[in-house]
Amino acid sequence: MANPEAEMLFECSWEVCNKVGGIHTVISSKAAKVNAAYGANYITVGPYFHGNVAGQFQEEVPPDHVKKVFAALKEKGLVCHYGTWLIGGQPKAILMDIASFWHALNSVKKDLWEWSKVDSLNAPDDYNEPVLWSYATGMLIELLAKEMPNRKIVAQFHEWLSGAGLLYIRHAFPGIGTVFTTHATVLGRALANAEAPLYEMLATLKPEEEAYRHHVESKHLLEKASAQNADCFTTVSGITGMEAEHLLGRKPDILLPNGLDIGKFPVFEEILLKHRLERDRISEFCLAYFFPYYQFDIKNTLYFFTASRYEFRAKGLDLFIEALGILNRKLKEGKSQKTIVAFLWVPSGVRSIRQEIIENKTYFTDLKDFLSEEKEYIEKNALYALIGGRGMGEEQLFSQEFLQESRRKLAKFRKSGIPPVMTHELSDGNDIITRSILNAGLLNREEDRVKVIYYPTYLNGADGLLDLNYYEAMEGCHLGVFPSYYEPWGYTPLEAGALGVPSITTDLSGFGRYFCTDCRQGGYPGIYVVERLGRRYEESLSQLAAFMHKFALLSREERTRNKLEARRVAATVDWEMLVNNYVNAHNLAMKKAAGR
């Protein structure tokens, strides 16, 4: 590991002890390795929300010099909590409660305007709270630095949400080295979600004009000021670095690719066992979902999935759905007996689980329980029939009472029609995902080789349907598909690989470009990369459909080779190696700060 030049590291993020999105995963998964580099001199800083800290944060009595700083901040309306973040490495954390600091909001905005012309006149509500908190983190670090004279200190700030703290430090205590990390630019995400051709526009667009047009000027200008004032500016990937160079006016000094603590994931032998276990649970769900209407060979079925936020174009949901339609046609034309069940785990607004799905599951469970009650009797009859050489027909295995009751229960289970394409009643009657599924000809008819289940709720292990958590659901599948248009890094294919699940990503995702710079892949790449940069939509669509078709026709042995390769690739993105990039960024910031 690289040797840190700083004697103290503060890492500030809105997601310290406050899981909102992927940044929480980044910081928490690398914390043990950062802690190994800095020891007790590593302190994370986040917001304090009473309802969020249970099980995440253990409050402790702060050291005397920290207690003194807390007392000074309390006089200004800031209540600080010191303790341990209960994650790997157990780093120290300071959480700041700003509930009594709102009186300072206009003063904070005034400073940001005078320092860096950050226009927050029309800032949305979700701007004010993190800006007030991050400004307070700057005050905290300044006072702690004064209590530790002559200590070499570096502070890292993640995203625009912590940017006010960086700007405060730069003006109040310029001897502290600062690192700013953007995981996705505000304007880039806004343009992608507005379905603008972001990468084609980069060279010619006017960032400020676009920021005002999309009403993200306050966040964009704060992000830009943070990037330009940091001693070391970093992004998580080359694709985001290219974006930042055009939108924020500065090329990143260092790239900080995201990693995983691979030691927390199962070894390959466990992966195979877990896959069979969770696959069988998914198969049972599919029996309840599809088999009331018609039947297919569940043992000759593959499970594909995507999982993302509800960002239809940015996450490539448009491409995935249309490619599934092409795959369905190809499999039917080839008279394939393979069935693909494609899950879209994309949380959305829902009213309730569809009544027919509840009925299907209820009748299926009744059948299963009935069979379970007779299991010992049936096993005994099977043994007698096998040993006695009398054959194993209905008469040898089942009683007449069992056959009559099972037929009655099966009749209740069967129904006419076709299975729905979504599990829940949606709040939006004009949902674009549902419309796209139907437009692609994915109707869940008996003759369709590709079946679709749009599952618009979080996988928490107790949702009343699959009852699997995110990783369990992923482990039970055969292929993950993440064909994003806008994806600064993209943890999902990396997590899938760590669980031994092959996946498809794109060269517009940070991980896709990191993993496959030239996209020349062998026969069993484990992680396939669809080319989207500089390609027409139709070209990427054709390539994605071809990848999925090829995978659908692989033998079990070939799929296992892909599982092995996916796991191997994921292991190359371990924090054990990637944490050095962070230390190098801190060292560069210290070098620049020392020159002031």
End-to-end CA distance of the chain: 28
Rounded CA-CA distance 445/339 in Å is 12
Average pLDDT of the residues in 23-32: 96
| Fold category of 8-261+576-594 in CATH | Rossmann fold (3.40.50)
Rounded CA-CA distance 467/462 in Å is 5
Q: Where are the alpha helices (DSSP H) in 414-451?
A: 432-439
- Span 128-146, pLDDT tens digits: 999 999 999 999 999 999 9
- Span 379-426, pLDDT tens digits: 777 676 677 777 677 766 778 888 889 899 999 999 999 999 999 999
- Same fold for the domain at 8-261+576-594 and the one at 263-352+420-573? yes
* Angle ∠(5,241,23) on CA atoms, nearest 5: 70
DSSP string computed for 151-187:
--EEEEEETGGGHHHHHHHHHH-TTSEEEEEESS-HH
- Span 183-197, pLDDT tens digits: 999 999 999 999 999
Q: What is the DSSP letter of 435?
A: H
- Span 389-398, pLDDT tens digits: 776 777 667 7
- Residue 472 neighbours by CB distance under 10 Å: 18
Q: Tell me the pLDDT of the chain averaged across its residues.
A: 95
pLDDT value, residue 386: 72
Rounded to the nearest 5°, which phi and psi values hold at 171?
A: -90, -30
User: Does pLDDT of 296 surpass 90?
Assistant: yes
- Residue 281 neighbours by CB distance under 10 Å: 16
Percent with pLDDT over 70 in the chain = 98
Rounded CA-CA distance 586/7 in Å is 11
Beta bridge partners of 47: 96
User: Does pLDDT of 356 surpass 60?
Assistant: yes
List, in order, residues 6 or more apart from 563 with CB less than 8 Å away: 268, 271, 272, 275, 500, 501, 502, 526
- Span 96-114, pLDDT tens digits: 999 999 999 999 999 999 9
Q: What is the DSSP letter of 305?
A: E
Domain boundaries, the chain: 8-261+576-594, 263-352+420-573, 355-418
Q: With bands split at pLDDT 50, 70 and 90, how would you rate the model's confidence at 466?
A: very high
pLDDT value, residue 368: 92
The CATH number of 263-352+420-573 is which of 3.90.950.10, 3.40.50.2000, 1.20.120.530, 3.30.1490.20?
A: 3.40.50.2000
